[in-house]
Amino acid sequence: MKVVITEKPSVARDIASVLQIQNKKSGYIEGRGCAITWAFGHLVTLLEPGEYDPAMKKWRTEYLPFIPDEFRLKLIDNQGVAKQFDTIKTLCEQAEEIVCATDAGREGELIFRYILALSHCEDKPIRRLWLNSLTPDAIKEAFKNLKDGHEYDSLYDAARCRSEADWIVGLNATRYFTVRHGRTGGTSDRVLWSIGRVQTPVLAMIVHRDDEILQFTPQPFWELTTLYREIAFKYTGKRFEKPDKAQELLEKIQGQPFEIMSIDGKDKKEQPPQLFDLTTLQREANKQHGLSAADTLAATQTLYETKLVTYPRTDSRYLNNDMKPRIPKIMEQLRPLRAEQIQPLNLAKLPFTKRIIDDKKVTDHHAIIPTGIQPRQLGKNEQLIYDLITTQFIAAFYPVCLKKITTVKGESNQVEFQAKGTQILEPGWTILFPKPQKKNTEEEDDQQMPAFEKGESGPHEPMLREGTTKPPNHFTENSLLGAMEAAGKQVDDDALREALKERGIGTPATRAAIIETLLRRNYIERNKKQILATDMGRCLIALIQDPMLKSPEMTGMWEEKLKKIERSETKAAEFMEDIVDYTRNLIHTSSATSIDPARWGTCPLCGKEIIKGKRAYGCSGWKEGCTFVLNPNHSGLSLSETQVRTLLQSHILPYSVRIKDEPRLLVLSHMGHPMDINIPSADKQVKDRKPR
C-alpha cells in the first residue's frame, strides 16, 4: 500500500479527487492501493526542558544554558491531534511506500519528517510530491514526477536546524532574562521576557528607529525658488542653513530678468514590474490597501487552496523556462475577466525577458501568478489580493513605459536655477495602474513643461521657502518587511534587494508571523499604518546588552547559512555548533554584565556623566545648557540608588525600570519627564516559551 501524507485535510481531498480515490475512512481516504491522510499543520514538536530533566521545571539561571545531547519529539498536546496521529502511524507502519505531500518548502518538510520520526518509520521508502499549485493538471503532473524523498534530506536538515536553533536560543535567553529581570523590588509577580533568535533583532530595529525619531532635532533651512512661465525653478546650490545668504541672493535677483540657458531632454525607459514573491506582495498590499502581512498571507493561502493562484510562500519573482508554454493558456483563461487589459498582448509572441524567465533565480517555487481558473465568490481580502496578483501578472508582459525627462536651466543676474519635468511618451504598462501620487518636490518635479527656447528671457517671481529637516519615518509593515528582507537595511533598489535576499531576517513564510508574535506579546503596536515599539518592547531591548542578539546582520547571516544547508553547501552540524557556542557565550557574558556601582550613568540627551544633587540626579553638562534631570520621587514612588543606576546605565531612550513591588514601569520620555506606565502581570503574558 502507498500512503500519501498531506499538511491539511483540504489538500488530501483535492489529491484524492484527482486520483479518483473516494472511499472515506476516519482520518484518511483510501482506494486503488493508496491511502491519503493528513496532518493539521504541525502535529509534532520538541520536548520541553522539564521532560529531559525534572530539575529544569524550575527556572533558575544556574541551570543555564540547557542544551540537550539529542533532541527528542512529542505530540502537540491536543486530543484531536493524538487521534489523527495514531491513524497516520498505523497507515505508515502498513505502508510499502510513503509519499510526502506536505507544503513544498522547509516547514512542510519538517512536518513530514517529524511525523515519520515519531512513527518510527524513517527506514520506509519515501517519495516527494512537489506542488507549485493545486490545480488538477498540476497535481497530475507532480505525481508523474515524484522524486526520491531523500533528495530533500538537505532541506530537512535546514528545517531541523531552524527548529532546534530557535529552541536553544529562545528558551535559554527567555529563561535567563525572565529570571534575572522579570521580578524586582521583592515583587512576587514575574514578567515573562520572551526572546527569540529572529523576533528580538526585529524588535531592536523598531526600537532603534523610534529612538532615531525621538532624538531627532529639526534643523531649519531656506530654499530659493522662482516661478517663470508658471514653472517652478530651484536654486542649483545647496539649501541654506541660515537665512542671511538666501536673503542676499533673493535681493540680488529681484527685479532682474530670468533667462533660459539650456534645455536638455532625455528619453527614459521604465521596465514593467516583476512578478510577485510573497514579501513584495505583502508590501504592496500594505501600501495600497493597508493589509497586514498576516492578512495578506492568509488571503493568498486561501486563493492557493481554492486553486486560483500558485504557491504563496515563495521568495522568487521569476518563472522557470518550462512555464513558457503555460502562460498563453493562462492569459486566455483570464480573458473573460480582463479582456481589455489582455487584448493588446500578442499571446503567440509574449516577451519572455530575463526579468520574467530565469531558472537560476527560481528556488523552491516560482513567482506567485494566477492559475487561470475562474474565481467565484471571494472575500474582500481575497479579491484585493487576487486583483493585485492578476494585474501584476498581465503588466509583466506589457511594453516599457517611455518617458521624456526634460531639464531646463535658467539664470537671473548670474544666480543659477533648474527645473525638471516629465512627459509620458508611451504609457506602456503604466496604463494598468492608477497614477501614483506625486513624489516630494524635493526629489522630483513632474511639471508639464511648456516649449522653452534657449535664450528667451522675461520676468519671474523669486521667493524664499523656509522649512525644517524631518526625522526618518516610523516603520510601516511595508517598510519593515523590506528591512527584514534586506537584513535591516533600507533598500528600494530591486537589484540590490535581490542580492541581499540570502541574508534576510526570517523567510517570506515566517515574516508575517514574526510581526504578529511581537504584537501579541505587547512589544510593538499598530498606530494606523505605523509600527511602534511599546514601553514593554523598549524595556526588553534596554535589558539586553548583548549586541549580537539584537543584530539584524547576525540573524541574516544565520538565515544565509540555513539556505546554504538547504543547498548542501554547509554542514548542519557546523551551524548548530555555532548556535550552541553563541548561546553559551550569551549566558556567560550576560551573567558577567553588572551595574557599575562607582558611577550613575550617562545623560540620555548629551551623553555626559550624570551627577547626584541634593534632590535629584542631573547632567554634568548643565552649565552647557543640558536640561536632563531625573527626580527619584514621582507619584508617590521612590527609586533607590540601585534602581537609578540600572535606569541610567541601560543605554536606551526612553529608559525603563521596574519599581519596588508595583507591576508598572517608570518610563522617562526623551525630555526627561517620568511617566507611570502599567504593564500586564505575568499571568497575562504569552505562555509560549519557545519564541521564533
What's the CA gap between 8 and 435, in Å, rounded? 41
CB neighbourhood size of 468 (10 A): 9
CB neighbourhood size of 81 (10 A): 17
DSSP 8-state symbol, 36: E
Give the Cα-Cα-Cα angle 203, 208, 211 (nearest 5 degrees). 125
| Beta strand ranges found along 500-634 (DSSP E) | 524-527, 530-533, 610-612, 617-619, 629-630, 633-634
Beta carbons within 8 Å of 27's beta carbon, 6+ residues apart:
37, 38, 83, 84, 87, 88
In this structure, are residues 421 and 445 in contact, taking their beta carbons and an 8 Å threshold? Answer: yes
Q: SS3 for 609?
A: strand
Which listed residue (28, 311, 318, 617) is catalytic? Answer: 311
CB neighbourhood size of 315 (10 A): 24
What's the CA gap between 293 and 313, in Å, rounded? 12
Q: Tell me the DSSP string of 622-665.
A: GGGT---EE-SEETTEE--HHHHHHHHTS--SS-EEEETTEEEE
- Is 655 a known active-site residue? no
Please choose, from the candidates 98, 93, 5, 15, the residue with its C-alpha nearest in 3D space to the C-alpha of residue 43.
5
What's the CA gap between 587 and 7, in Å, rounded? 37
Please choose, from the candidates 495, 500, 417, the residue with its C-alpha nearest in 3D space to the C-alpha of residue 452.
417
What's the CA gap between 128 and 528, in Å, rounded? 44
What's the CA gap between 388 and 280, in Å, rounded? 11
Q: SS3 for 295?
A: helix
- What are the catalytic residues? 311
